Structure 1
């Protein structure tokens, strides 16, 4: 158990990277016809909800993948998959295995988890934050930082 606990942040980082990459691939496939292209007919530019969902997938997935704005990006990613599940899949049957919504459900819950617990290791966010300068002021004989 101790080994698992020590590797927690690394496993979480790998989870974030894989989920973000897979989600970004869905967006790229829909928007640009790469990686096997969209599932079904591709949406036109600006078409609701397909084109906007693909933009969220590509940009949100890339942000989560890189660990930049991870929590903020994971929320709309999760929400878009909840929307997709309840509008496209759930009306066909109650359970995801019956209605083909396993992918939407898994992405929805995966992004909700990432939003709740953060990016884990190997995130770019710490590198993108400006460093805070520590200034020293002297008051009497003590210095404050």
Structure 2
């Protein structure tokens, strides 16, 4: 099993990076471009906290998806998701209970991006191509 893990680890990191980057990108497109159209993001002012988050989600999601500047983009995205949790979900009664405040996705994204910033983008990334 150890040999299997060492040979597939890089490809698995690439898959995790692509899927998580895509999901972050879609959050940004919903907020900024209205695609997919979600009622909660309709008429969202770009010059607002949600608008700024949407722009960051667009840029960081695209960078993470293709694997360019991956470690830095993932680290910043991790902080963005932590901020989203504490600003948008946590309150004084449920700060340690993301299940009750709707913040599970923000917490998972936060730690997933933190892990990708530490372990790297995997071999199927622009960063890996540039290192060769």
**TM-score (normalised: structure 1):** 0.81
In structure 2, the gaps of 5 or more residues are none
Q: Cα deviation per residue 1:99-122 (whole Å; 9 max; x = unaligned)?
A: 100111011111101111110121
The answer as to whether partners of 1:44 and 1:51 remain within 8 angstroms in 2 is yes
Which of the pair has more CA radius of gyration? 1
What is aligned with 2:29?
Answer: 28
Choose from 90, 105, 117 the match for 1:103.
105
What does residue range 114-129 of structure 1 map to in structure 2 within 5 Å?
114-128=116-130
Task: State how 1:35-54 maps to structure 2 within 5 Å.
Answer: 35-37=36-38, 39-47=40-48, 49-54=49-54
Whole-Å separation in 1 of the counterparts to 2:28 and 2:50: 10
Deviation, 1:127, is 3.5
How big is the alpha-carbon RMSD for the aligned residues of Structure 1 and Structure 2? Answer: 1.7
Compute the displacement of 1:36 (Å).
3.3
SS of residue paired to 1:46: coil
Give, in angstroms, the shift of residue 43 of structure 1.
Answer: 2.4
Structure number with greater CO (CA < 8 Å, separation at least 6) is 2
How many pairs does the alignment contain? 129
CA offsets, 1:62-118, max 9 Å, x none? 101100000111111111110111122110513110110011101111110111111
1:59 and 2:59 matched: yes
**Could you tell me whether the CA contact under 8 Å between 1:56 and 1:76 is conserved in 2?**
no
> Comparing both structures, which one devotes a greater share of its residues to strand?
1
TM-score in terms of structure 2 length: 0.89
1:36-61 Cα offsets, whole Å, 9 max, x none, are 336344421221x1111111111101
Gaps of 5+ in 1: 132-145
Rounded Cα–Cα distance in structure 2 between residues aligned with 1:18 and 1:121: 15
- Which structure: greater helix fraction? 2
